[in-house]
Structure 1
Amino acid sequence: MTYEQLFLFSLLGVVFAFLVWGRIRYDLVAFAALIIAVVAGVVDAHDAFMGFGHEAVVIIALVLIVSRAMMNAGAVELIARFVLSSGRSLSTHIGFMSVIGAGLSAVINNVAALVMLMTLDIEAAKKAKRPVSQSLMPLSFATILGGMITLIGTPPNIVIAEFRGRALGESFSMFDFSPVGLVCAIVGIAFVTTVGWRLIPDTGQAAAVGEDGAAGLFVAEAGVKEKSGFIGKAVSELYPLADEHDVTVLGLVRRGKRLPGFAAGEELRKSDHVILEGDPKSIEAFIGAADLDAPGSEEHGGIRGKSLVLVEAIVPDNAHMVGRTANDLRLLYRRGVTLLGVSRQGRRFRERVRKLVIKPGDVVLLLGPESRVNDAADWLGVLPLAEKSHTVIQRGKALFAVGVFAAAVALSVMGLMPLAVALAGAVAIYALFNVVGAREVYESVEWPVIVLLASLIPLGLALEESGGTKLIADSILSLTGALPAWAILAILMIVTMTLSDFLNNVATALIAAPVGLSIAKGLDVSPDPFLMGVAVAASCAFLTPIGHKNNTIIMGPGGYRFGDYWRMGLPLEVLIIAVSVPAILFFWPL
């Protein structure tokens, strides 16, 4: 064993130990290891930062931005009515959510898909009065499985594709992963839907319901559009939809005057305003589902309309708006911001929101572009509440966002443009049309993952060039020399899958890919089955909450413990190995 091999094996062993320990951020560990390797002379100084310009790193960053754009454009709301139903059994609900989660994960990043659907799943658990732990883990596993279907669904696929391009001269394309990924996803989803969820221990964790009591409830208004489907229908016909979104319809304003009582029997007319009570996210979601207008939204509407936020702010004694109304302040005209709602210690009031005299201690709900809302808050003298800013979904841009993404994928699939360039073009269009703001472009990127990947790429290349990966492959072949190729593939996948359960899946793919290629060369067979096996195994981290970010995200909301994951994860991993090996060999023969 040479000095370079010995040093790199030792360094990577220390890195893996720190990653499993988890007390130091994984990006800092990887970056420190890269610097140590440069100082030690095993990585050329000129190649130290090549990873930051690597195509795989760029694609991962762009996919995360595209995912944010799809969220901003309301992809979730297109399926919300189909997903949420209190009449479905738990197995049926898990099946619906899993299929949709897997489908979304195939076209956007699987972490983003989970984040988009997790709120819906928690909401469904709350309505069904069952522990959210029964459905969150199946949803997480389904989004992981769905990510394996396409190139952009999960980072390991991107890493493997780019490695193949560098090693063999041609990368895997967008849908090369689909045949094997679909088999794994279908079988895996069938398992979590019928059997898997029954293996999850009851954590006793109830669905999160947000703020307690009425203190967080706002009274707000929403206008009836000229072509609304509710025109001519009674106000009471809004009640079922309002119940779904935890919103109360308090009454109706017509020609500037509040009608008596709840006006439940009144027929809705254009230019009416519906009075609502609920938390900010529920109100915003209901306005979208009922196709109503938030006051002032026309100021920012259209395909070029700016990205809007809802910000909660408390009114102190000396605030400029104390004793005044939104009309007095001419808030929309002067600052381009709407006073959407007011919360006054849970009390209801009959005055229109824009005509309500603001008092100290009120919590106001401001709607507008983020920069304008911040400027308006300073001018009004109100104090925005930490972590109480909500992005407003731009529902009118949903089809536009999907069309731009589909066009980018089509250009890549047809070979007219590299995937990275196509996705970059899509991001530029999203930014130009304000589907994502300039700030969101940077906030969308998981920079720790980018630093991890960019730091490990030079280390992986150094290990390969030093002959370290060939040494590992030769060791595996010497121990399994009497076994058939399919058995060696299965062993490689088991080892890779085990590593991925305790390490970041990107790190696992970077190390296992060259090992798989070396094993294929040693067996004198096609390398594609082994590269595809590494891609599947690196993605399937189901035993622990640290192997995949999706499992980490659900740990708190689901009330899971570290040891809860293997109960459903272990049989699922065994099942994936059992079905993926023959699927790989069928679609990618040796």
Structure 2
Amino acid sequence: MAIEDVGLASSTLVFMVLGLTLGAFIWGRFRYDLVALAALLGSVMLGLVPADDAFMGFGHPAVITVAAVLVLSRGFERSGLVDIIADQIFKVGERLVLQLLVLVGTVVVLSGIMNNVGALALLLPVAMRLAREHNTPPSLLLMPLAFGSLLGGLITLIGTPPNIIISSYRADVAGDNFSMFSFAPVGIAVALAGLAFIVLVGWRLTPKRSGQASAADMFDTANYLVELKVNEASKAKGLTLQQLRDELEDTIPVLAVVRDDDRQAGYAFHGMLQAGDILLLEAGPEELKLLEDKAGLSAVAELEEDDTDTDSKAADASTEEGEAHPPVDTAGLQLVEVVVRTDSMMINRSVRQLRLNHQFGLHLVAVARDGTRLKQRLRDIRFKAGDILLLQGEENEIAESLPTLGCLPLANRDLNLGQPRKLILSLSIFAAAIVAMLLDILPAAVALSTAALISLLIGVLPLREGYQAIDGPVIVLLGAMIPVGEALETSGGAALIAEALLSWGSDWPVVVTLGGLFILSMLLSNVINNAAAAVLMAPIAVSLANGFDVSLDPFLMVVAVSASCAFLTPIGHQSNTLVLGPGGYRFGDYWKLGLPLSIVVLAVSMPMILWVWPLTG
């Protein structure tokens, strides 16, 4: 009895820790890796996880495999693969159905051989450019693209972290893991069904937000690009641009300085302002008043632009004395639109905290969120995942800084952000790792880690980018949650949940309980990270299988599939968050396509799982 009481007390503590953890995940005030680490340390202090085993999860094969896949995926991004794909996709023409078929079909295939977020990152700029060239609202393309990346991840072991976690968990409890293509029969069927639904019906359920594809519409820079003159009495006279920013206590970007008909880009101007200098800058009414009151700058004339691209020209402006002023050429100003990734170092930080200008050589020109340009002061904006930024800087600095900042270019602005093409070499290394896994020469973690190491050694991917590719928050999440998930099992908590489900489903066929497990895991993955959902649901699935005295495999496969199908919210998966800003979506937009797609996945995957992995197998 005493032992039972101890077990009940332990399971109660585990439920309390998990309840608080899930609540913190849903609240979203703290990043999920910090929440997971707090859950781990709390479990150690409560005696649920032995102190000596607290950090064993960071060496777990699933964590190592995820890290290796992230490095290999970044290698694909740098190999020129996107250029080859883009060249073919741009040939599809103006028919929306064909655009969706090619885009979503491509991301499904790519997500099967690389990390699904990486696959989406490859195609997001292609989709944005396609939308702009054909005047298609990107909201019709980007959500289907994100959902396609989730579907493609179901096909192989390395397509998504839940598959890796479930495979490793099977090795722990049954002595053998799932192989590279064990997920393929079910994954391919689900992916094809999902693709057909999205292309034929689902896109009609996405919001049609016109005008989002145009940079001019998104940022409306023509209404804000102005010339200001430095007069003899201006406080700005004799100041450098940085001193001017300090004086204003704001980060209003100066795009160019014109002196004696010579134009110099703002980021390259380091001298002192003189009377007669013309500043070309991006400012709204409030900023203009600030510049006039604090710096004594006076407006020359509003500039008219036909385009915000790097080839744009400023229109003629006149001086205060009425003399004609030569046009200000902005062709040399490198402007790039980027989206803030979910793993970006910019999240919850401001321009000043990042030292964007001093440390990275970039000027922030404008910010758009949820498809709308933010009108507040740039210095006050704390960036969020999915924000779209308009940045200015030198081409080399942009190419070097964007990966470090965790930003993804949205459109081709003649910037070569990649290394020389090494696609064949990259694919050959990856193929060799797959062969080693299929022939049982090496386990997945060792084979893929070896492939990642070789890629770094031979220069397919620079070492610095290799480290940047490893998504630190996801690694911490997995490393911390794996011991917590094991505590759920060792404390008897998983068995208690399974007993409750067994009791509920005792009068029903096993397949009904299996369906309930699928729905529960799918709902959980929409409010917490899908990897965390797989970690928590795996021990429950095993306890259920043991309780019914049936095969473990269909229960584990149900968790693998359902944990990867977070279609209802923008927070359930990184791919969903990544398209939130560029697509101009709102939180409530996702379920309109996501709910029927979830039903399609459930309807197709359940019979496929039971056919490939029978209960009595």
Q: TM-score range by the shorter chain?
A: 0.7 to 0.9
DSSP-derived class of the 2:566 partner:
coil
Q: CA deviation at 1:61?
A: 0.9
In the TM superposition, what is the alpha-carbon distance from 1:86 to its structure 2 partner? 6.0
Mapped partners of 1:153, 1:344: distance in 2: 40
Could you say if the C-alpha distance between residues 513 and 382 of structure 1 is closer, same or farther in structure 2, counting changes exceeding 3 Å? Answer: closer
What corresponds to 2:70 in structure 1? 64
One-letter identity of the residue aligned with 2:487: A
Q: Which amino acid aligns with 1:63?
A: V
Does the 8 Å contact 1:315/1:360 carry over to 2?
A: no
Shift of 1:392: 3.3
User: 1:134 — aligned with what?
Assistant: 140
> CA separation in 2, counterparts of 1:207 and 1:364?
22
Deviation for aligned residue 1:421: 1.5
Aligned to 1:31: 37
Candidates 190, 212, 217, aligned match of 1:206: 212
Aligned-partner residue type, residue 128 of structure 2? I
Aligned to 2:579: 554
- Once the two structures are TM-superposed, the CA of residue 188 in structure 1 deviates from its matched residue by 0.3
TM-score scaled to structure 1, two decimals?
Answer: 0.72
Look up the match of 2:411.
none
Which of these residues, 155, 159, 181, is aligned with residue 153 of structure 1? 159
2:55 maps to 1:55: no
1:2 alignment partner, SS class: helix
1:276-322 C-alpha deviation (Å, 9 max, x unpaired): xxxxxxxxxxxxxxxxxxxxxxxxxxxxxxxxxxxx99322559xxx
Residue number among 513, 516, 520 corresponding to 2:541 in the alignment: 516
SS at match of 2:215: coil
Q: How many angstroms apart in 1 are the aligned matches of 2:420 and 2:202? A: 35
Q: Which residue of the partner structure matches residue 429 of structure 1?
A: 454
Q: Report deviation, 1:430.
A: 1.5
The equivalent of 2:423 in structure 1 is: 398
Q: CA deviation at 1:501?
A: 1.1
Q: Does 1:578 align with 2:598?
A: no
Partner of 1:167: 173
Equivalence for 2:267: 314
Partner of 1:464: 489
**SS state of the match for residue 179, structure 2?**
coil
The yes-or-no answer on 1:455 pairing with 2:455 is: no
Cα distance, 1:433 vs. partner?
Answer: 2.1
Secondary structure of the residue aligned to 1:454 is helix
CA separation of 1:122 and 1:425: change in aligned 2, threshold 3 A: same
Contact 2:94/2:134 (<8 A) preserved: no
What amino acid does structure 1 have at the position aligned with 2:70? L
Letter in 1 for 2:564: S
Report the secondary structure of 2:422's partner residue: helix
Percent of aligned pairs with the same amino acid: 44
The 1:50–1:208 alpha-carbon spacing in structure 2 relative to 1, beyond 3 Å, is farther
Residues 313, 363 of structure 1: 8 Å contact kept: no
Q: Distance in 1 between matches of 2:210 and 2:524?
A: 31
Cα deviations across residues 243-280 of structure 1 (Å, max 9, x unaligned)?
Answer: xxxxxxxxxxxxxxxxxxxxxxxxxxxxxxxxxxxxxx
Q: Does structure 1 residue 44 correspond to structure 2 residue 69?
A: no
Question: Counterpart of 2:11?
Answer: 5
Relative distance call for 1:60 and 1:152 in structure 2 (3 A) is: same
Aligned pairs for 1:99-248 within 5 A:
99-204=105-210, 206-209=212-215
- Secondary structure of the residue aligned to 1:314 is helix
Report the counterpart of residue 564 of structure 2 in structure 1. 539
- Residue of structure 2 equivalent to 1:376: none
User: For 1:586 and 1:93, how far apart are their aligned partners in 2?
Assistant: 34
**Distance (Å, rounded) in 2 between the aligned partners of 1:505 and 1:78:** 31
**Distance across 1 between alignment mates of 2:93 and 2:103:** 14
Q: How many residue pairs end up in the alignment? A: 448
Separation of aligned partners in 2, 1:423 and 1:344: 43
- List per-residue Cα deviations over 1:405-449 (Å, max 9, x = no partner): 111111111111122122122222221222211211111111011
**Residues 492 and 314 (structure 1 numbering): CA distance in 2 closer, same or farther, change over 3 Å?**
same
Q: Is 1:529 aligned to 2:482, yes or no?
A: no
Task: Please list the CA deviations of residues 351-407 of structure 1 after superposition, one character each: whole Å capped at 9, or x if unmatched.
Answer: xxxxxxxx9999587xxxxxxxxxxxxxxx998325651263234311111111111
Conserved in 2, the CA contact under 8 Å of 1:97 and 1:139?
yes
Identify unmatched segments of 5+ residues in structure 1.
Answer: 215-311, 320-342, 349-358, 366-380
Maintained 8 Å contact 1:314/1:361: no
- AA matched with 1:35: L
